Chains A and B, each alone.
Chain A
Amino acid sequence: MLSSTADKLFWMARYAERAENLARMLDVNYRMSLFPQGPQAVNQGWNALLAISDLMGEYHSRHQEITPEKALAFFAFDGSHPSSIMSCWRAVRQNARAVRGALTAETWETINSTWLELRTMQASISAGGEVSTFFEWVKYRSHLVRGVLRSTMLRDEAFHFTWLGTYLERADNTARILDVKYHMLLPGGEGVGGAVDYYQWSSVLNSVAAFEIYRKVYRDVITPRRVAELLILREDMPRSLRHCIRQAYFHLKEIRNHQSSETERRMGVLDAELNFGRIEDIFEAGLHEYLMSCIERVYDLGEGVSKDFLVAAAAA
Chain B
Amino acid sequence: MALSRPPYDEMNGSDGVRSHYRTFAQWLKKTPAEKLQRKRAEADALFHRVGITFAVYGEASGTERLIPFDIVPRIVPANEWQQLAAGLKQRVRALNAFIKDIYHDQEILKAGKVPADEILKNAQFRPEMIGVNVPNDIYTHISGVDIVRAGAGEFYVLEDNLRVPSGVSYMIEDRKMMMRLFPELFAQYAIAPVEHYPDLLLENLRSVAPAGVNDPVVVVLTPGSYNSAYFEHAFLAQQMGVELVEGADLFVKDLYVYMRTTRGPQRVDVIYRRIDDDFLDPKAFRPDSQLGVPGLLEAYRAGHVNVTNAIGTGIADDKSIYPYVPDMVRFYLGEEPLLNNVPTYVLRRKDDLKYTLDHLSELVVKEVHGAGGYGMLIGPAASKAEIEAFRARIIADPSKYIAQPTLSLSACPTFVEQGIAPRHIDLRPFVLSGREVTLVPGGLTRVALTEGSLVVNSSQGGGTKDTWVLER
What residues of chain A have their CB less than 8 Å away from a CB belonging to chain B? 1-6, 94, 97-101, 105, 108-109, 112-113, 116, 157, 161, 255, 257-258, 309-310, 313-314, 316
Contacts and interface: CB of A to CB of B under 8 A. Distances in A.
Dominant SS among interface residues on chain A: helix
A7 to B, nearest CB: 9
Interface in B105-126: none
Given A100-B238, A316-B265, A2 B243 contact: yes
Given A98-B224, A157-B262, A255-B262, 13 more contacts: A1-B261, A2-B260, A2-B261, A3-B262, A4-B245, A94-B225, A97-B230, A101-B234, A101-B244, A257-B263, A309-B262, A313-B260, A314-B260
Contacts of A108: 50-51
A19 to B, nearest CB: 18
B264 A4 contact: no
Contacts of B331: none
Interface string B237-262: 11000011110110101000011111
Interface string B200-239: 0000000000000000000000001100001000100110
Contact of A101 (B237, B261, B263): B237
B265 A3 contact: no
B48 interface: yes
A113 B259 CA distance: 32
20 contacts: A2-B259, A2-B260, A2-B261, A3-B262, A4-B245, A4-B246, A94-B225, A97-B51, A97-B234, A101-B243, A105-B50, A108-B50, A109-B49, A112-B49, A112-B50, A112-B51, A116-B49, A313-B261, A313-B263, A313-B264
Interface of B: 48-51, 224-225, 230, 234, 237-238, 243-246, 248-249, 251, 253, 258-265
A6 B264 CA distance: 13
A97 B225 contact: yes
Q: Among the interface residues B51, B251, B262, which one has the most CB atoms of the partner chain A within 10 A?
A: B262
Given A316-B251, A316-B258, A113 B49 contact: yes
B53 to A, nearest CB: 10
A262 B388 CA distance: 73
Contacts of B264: 257-258, 313, 316
Contacts of B262: 1-3, 6, 157, 161, 255, 257, 309-310, 313
A73 to B, nearest CB: 21
The 9 closest A-B pairs by CB, nearest first: A101-B238, A314-B260, A309-B262, A98-B225, A101-B237, A3-B260, A113-B49, A112-B51, A101-B244
Nearest to B219: A2
Q: Among the interface residues A5, A94, A314, which one has the most CB atoms of the partner chain B within 10 A?
A: A314
A80 to B, nearest CB: 14
Contacts of A157: 262
Contacts of A316: 251, 253, 258, 260, 264-265
A97 B230 CA distance: 9
